[in-house]
């Protein structure tokens, strides 16, 4: 059991044994022992202060880069999407964006403000919090290229401000302070009067023509190995269309695994490992998955 002493109680949504397939883009996953969607930052701080320090914490935005195993998640899940959603210009021209905001909204608003490069955010199918956690990127841009500073919250509910230099940043990789989670960021762009919403629509149309948009997936499953593309390797290995249970390697884009309708998390994870093993055997390359896998097997 999770030990909690919430005093006057939290104001947000607090659920027990909440099925995580409702909160992930793959539409798979067992229940979260505790699922909490705070009303605001103060409510989140109250919740964190009441948790036993040993309670595992998992943070979820849109659940678009997350595979929750069928046995579910022990401890507490904190949901940020729709809660931390502020987006505004700062006095010095930088952009303040909170972690629960969809990356696509950042792209659209920056286009309206005439700021760039920000269009690439439209190709990231998650929230800013997730993009910060993994240095997500699309269309040649990466999240941390635009970051000046971030705000985090720790297990005790204390808020911290960190500069970019407090983190080790790489391709789809970010290391920073332990047991702190992103709640907002200060992003720096240039004045780009040529940036338009039409440009974003063109990028998304190109993406839609090459990726299985609209089907349950997590986006790209694997990181691109240096000097190559995971999708090319998977296709060259003849793995397009490979299916285990209800999980299938997309026929449109080989670095996507889709839920055909009745997949389990175990189906998806087994297919991920099958692809990795085949690529290692055929090319001697170890693919690294960028999707985050959490929870217990059933």
Residues known to be catalytic: 172, 220, 290
Beta partners for residue 33, in sequence order: none
Query: Which are the contacts of 117, defined by CB distance < 8 A and separation ≥ 6?
Result: 141, 145, 146, 189, 190, 192
Whether 231 contacts 253, CB under 8 Å: yes
The CA distance from 142 to 137, in Å, is 4
Instruction: Identify the DSSP state of 169.
Output: E
Residue with tokens 């309670």: 55
Beta partners for residue 297, in sequence order: none
CB-based burial label for 261 (10 Å; 0-12, 13-18, 19+)? exposed
Query: Which are the contacts of 283, defined by CB distance < 8 A and separation ≥ 6?
Result: 233, 236, 237
Q: DSSP readout, 78-138? A: EE-TTTS--EEE-TTS-EEEETTSBHHHHHHHHHHHTEES-GGGGG--SBHHHHHHHT-EE
Q: DSSP readout, 5-25? A: --TT--SSEEEEEEEGGGSST
């Amino acid at each position: 059991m999770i030990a909690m002493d919430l005093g006057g109680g939290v104001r947000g949504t607090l659920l027990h044994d909440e099925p995580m397939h409702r909160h992930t883009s793959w539409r798979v996953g067992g229940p979260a022992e505790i699922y909490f969607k705070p009303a605001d930052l103060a409510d989140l701080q109250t919740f964190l202060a009441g948790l036993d320090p040993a309670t595992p914490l998992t943070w979820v935005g849109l659940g678009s880069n997350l595979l929750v195993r069928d046995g579910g998640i022990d401890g507490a899940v904190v949901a940020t999407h729709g809660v931390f959603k502020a987006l505004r210009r700062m006095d010095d021209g930088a952009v303040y964006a909170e972690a629960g905001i969809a990356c696509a909204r950042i792209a659209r608003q920056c286009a309206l403000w005439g700021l760039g490069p920000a269009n690439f955010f439209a190709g990231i199918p998650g929230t800013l919090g997730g993009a910060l956690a993994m240095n997500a990127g699309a269309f040649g841009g990466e999240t941390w290229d635009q970051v000046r500073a971030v705000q985090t919250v720790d297990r005790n509910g204390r808020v911290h401000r960190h500069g970019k230099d407090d983190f080790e940043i790489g391709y789809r990789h970010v290391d920073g302070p332990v047991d702190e989670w992103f709640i907002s960021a200060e992003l720096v762009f240039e004045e780009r009067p040529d940036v338009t919403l039409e440009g974003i629509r063109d990028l998304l149309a190109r993406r839609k023509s090459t990726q299985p948009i609209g089907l349950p997936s997590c986006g790209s499953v694997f990181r691109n190995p240096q000097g190559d593309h995971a999708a090319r390797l998977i296709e060259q290995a003849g793995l397009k269309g490979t299916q285990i249970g209800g999980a299938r390697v997309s026929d449109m884009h080989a670095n996507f695994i889709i839920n055909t309708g009745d997949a389990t998390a175990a189906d998806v994870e087994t297919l991920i490992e099958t692809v990795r093993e085949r690529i290692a055997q055929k090319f001697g390359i170890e693919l690294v998955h960028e999707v985050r896998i959490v929870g217990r097997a059933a």
